[in-house]
Amino acid sequence: MSVRYLTARLAQQIDEELMGPAGAFSLDQLMELAGLACAQTLAKVYGKDKYPRVLVCCGPGNQGGDGLVAARHLGMFGYQPTIYMPKPGSKDHYKRLQIQCDNMKIPTLPPSSDVEALKRVLGSSDVILDAIFGFSFKGPIRSPFDSTLPLLTESKLPIVSVDIPSGWDVERGNAEGVGLNSDVLVSLTAPKEGVRHFTGRHFLGGRFIPKSLEGKYELNLPHYPGFDQIVELPSAQKL
């Protein structure tokens, strides 16, 4: 049986159960596992010899937290990440993740960076990790992100997106045509309905799902090889 694609409501429900009595995970644990899977995906597709400079774009929510964790791991993998947060998160766990990256000497662009500053850092980057919007995103795209996304697209750099490309609706995909056209996607827990027709390389990073929840929601998750935190799924081009 093929892996199950999740609606927004079902994805939220599973997240709540993971952090409730059934899963007993903390938010920090899930972010650490998700961010590690994202870093491993980027490293698998874009080797550091050819793509050492990674621009990690983080939104203010949990998606951005995953990106900060990924930036830290990429630094440990030998990449040269730079963090860009158009609007930094305000919660304590987000601030702790920022400190962890600071302690790794990972540079962060000031939130007030103007368009020219972002263009300059894009010009000296090799690949983008998109951790701006997650599955709870609802349009329209507002400032400051309405100017950020077009610049990422115009850069022509390869883009790895976390869970769903930023600007896509969790169930309707890039129906409005304003989202990123990512080259690689790493879905977390299980893929979302909106990415059924994603044509790039598609990975799953959800090796933290308990067997009880996998069975309850009939997720039909694939086998993860060896000790990898990710597994590649067939893209829409291959279906």
pLDDT 10s digits, 204-223: 999 999 999 999 999 999 99
Establish if 122 belongs to a structural domain.
yes
Structural domain includes residue 3: no
Q: Please report whether residue 1 resides in a domain.
A: no
Reported as a pLDDT band with limits 50, 70 and 90, residue 177 is confident
Q: Is the pTM of this model over 0.85?
A: yes
65 annotated binding-site participant: yes
Residue 166 annotated as part of some ligand binding site: yes
Residue 77 annotated as lining a ligand binding site: no
Is 140 annotated for ligand binding? yes
Tell me whether residue 52 is in a domain.
Answer: yes
Instruction: pLDDT band for 43, please (50, 70, 90 cuts).
Output: very high
Question: Does the pLDDT at position 163 exceed 80?
Answer: yes
- Domain annotation covers residue 171: yes
Instruction: Identify the pLDDT of residue 143.
Output: 79
- Residue 210 to residues 19, 50, 103, 213, 216, Cα–Cα distance (Å): 12, 37, 33, 6, 10
114 has binding-site annotation: no
The residue among 1, 29, 35 whose CA lies nearest residue 15 is 29
Q: Which of 182, 176, 204 is nearest to 192 (CA)?
A: 204
Residue 109 is part of a domain; what is its CATH number? Answer: 3.40.50.10260
DSSP calls for 3-46: PPPBPHHHHHHHHHHHTSTTT---HHHHHHHHHHHHHHHHHHHS
66 is in an annotated binding site: yes
Residue 204 covered by a domain: yes
Distances (CA, A) of 71 to 28, 68, 131, 164: 15, 5, 10, 18
Per the annotation, does 78 bind a ligand?
no
- The predicted-structure confidence for 106-148, as pLDDT tens digits, reads as follows 999 987 667 888 899 999 999 999 999 877 777 778 878 888 8
- Tell me: is residue 177 an annotated ligand-binding position: no
To the question of whether residue 165 is assigned a binding role by annotation, the answer is no
Nearest by Cα to 131 from 93, 171, 87: 87
Which H or E element spans position 79?
none
Is 136 part of any known ligand binding site?
Answer: yes
Q: Are strands 80-84 and 231-233 parallel, antiparallel or unpaired?
A: unpaired
Q: How many domains does the chain have?
A: 1
Whether 68 is in a domain gets the answer: yes
Structural domain that includes position 212: 8-238
